[in-house]
Amino acid sequence: MPALRNGKVTGGAYLGVGPDQNFSYIAQVRPTIAFIVDIRRDNLLLHLLFKALFSMADTRVGYMSLLFGRTPPEHPDDYRTSTIEQLVKYAEESSMPEPKVAALRSRVDATIRTFGVTLSAADYKTIDRFHHAFIDDGVSLQFQSTGRAPRGYYPSYRQLLLETDREGQHKNFLASEDDYQFLRTLEKRDLVIPVVGDLAGPSAIASIGRLLSARRESVSAFYVSNVEFYLSSDGKLDVFLANLARLPHTDHSVLIRSVFGGYVLPQSVSGYYSTSLIQPIDDLLDGFATGRYRTYNDLLLTR
């Protein structure tokens, strides 16, 4: 994970796509407001599940217990200073009887109903399916793409929780009680906002930009994952960059991208399938305007 909490890439607004790294990046950036944008409505439903768990869990160990359907410890406050390794061990060794799992699912749905989002019965079934994926597989859960065979190089949730940066520091939002409480406060204040929309569409980014302008705020960090790859393939990279240019930002604002697919870059680490890159937004926009960047491959050669 790129180093973000450096006195410059902090505060302001955060934008991110998909569910994968956003909470950990938000914990590092410490924004005043965050938007999670995804073209898939399922991302909204998954976020509502997470939001409910944040609302219900006072501590990290409580959150992990609810997420994985495990019986919370009798004295959760005793785990506030626990290492992430200790929390993972608790999640692996604890369990919850099926009747209590069913009761937990009912409590989660009841909490979601208080958020004021209109959902159908099918939506609640989807949320139940998402939650049971965590409950059934626990920290061994791995990402899977619909219609594809499981990939052995995809990390498990355990690996993501225990991963460190190049300096050996844990950056996952569940590695620190302070980071978890920051996320929980944002969630309880409705300041982590899922948006169903297209980064190259006419409304999602434009609407966020208008809201930020009204709040007199600028974007600090924009986690774009690998969406630029697909936008470039669809001939929409220029539209996305035009949208990006309209977002209020400063000379400290950065874009964070994840590169998948076996690309070997100067920043790549042996044995890892993905690489994270960070780039000033102004540099990206200037490079596109002057012709330095035209394709996805051009973006990967940034320094």
Tens of pLDDT, residue by residue over 165-212, are 888 999 999 999 999 999 999 999 999 999 999 999 999 999 999 999
Residues 6+ apart with CB under 8 A from 221: 4, 9, 14, 15, 25, 29, 31, 253, 254, 255, 256
Rounded (5°) CA angle 281-2-252: 30
Residues 6+ apart with CB under 8 A from 32: 11, 12, 13, 191, 217
For residue 202, give both structure tokens.
Answer: 């006419």
Selection from 63, 10, 60 nearest residue 34 by Cα: 10
The count of C-alpha atoms lying within 13 angstroms of the C-alpha of 248, restricted to the half-sphere facing its C-beta, is 15
- Return residue ranges of the chain for CATH 3.40.50: 1-39+197-303
Query: DSSP 3-state assignment of 256?
Result: strand
Mean pLDDT value across residues 59-66:
97
Strands 192-196 and 219-225: unpaired
Q: Residue 300 — pLDDT band, cuts 50, 70, 90?
A: confident
Share of the chain above pLDDT 90, in %: 79
| pLDDT value for 5 | 56
**Partners of residue 192 on adjacent β-strands:** 34
Contact 16, 4 (CB under 8 A): no
Please give the CATH topology (third level) of the domain spanning 1-39+197-303: Rossmann fold (3.40.50)
The count of C-alpha atoms lying within 13 angstroms of the C-alpha of 227, restricted to the half-sphere facing its C-beta, is 25
Query: DSSP 3-state assignment of 140?
Result: helix
Specify the higher pLDDT residue, 297 or 234: 234
Residue appearing with tokens 């705020």: 217
pTM: 0.92
| pLDDT value for 2 | 55
> Rounded to an integer, what distance in angstroms lies between the CA atom of residue 68 and that of residue 82?
18
- The per-residue b/e assignment along 92-103, b for 16 or more CB within 10 angstroms, e otherwise, is eebebeeeebee
What average pLDDT is seen over the chain? 92
- The per-residue b/e assignment along 145-183, b for 16 or more CB within 10 angstroms, e otherwise, is eeeeeeeeeeeebbebbbbeeeeeebbbbbbebebbebb
**Partners of residue 196 on adjacent β-strands:** 38
| pLDDT value for 302 | 65
Tens of pLDDT, residue by residue over 13-49, are 999 998 768 999 999 999 999 999 999 999 999 999 9
CB atoms within 10 A of CB 120: 8
DSSP conformation class of 69: T
Q: Is the pLDDT of residue 3 over 60?
A: no
Q: Is the pLDDT of residue 51 over 70?
A: yes
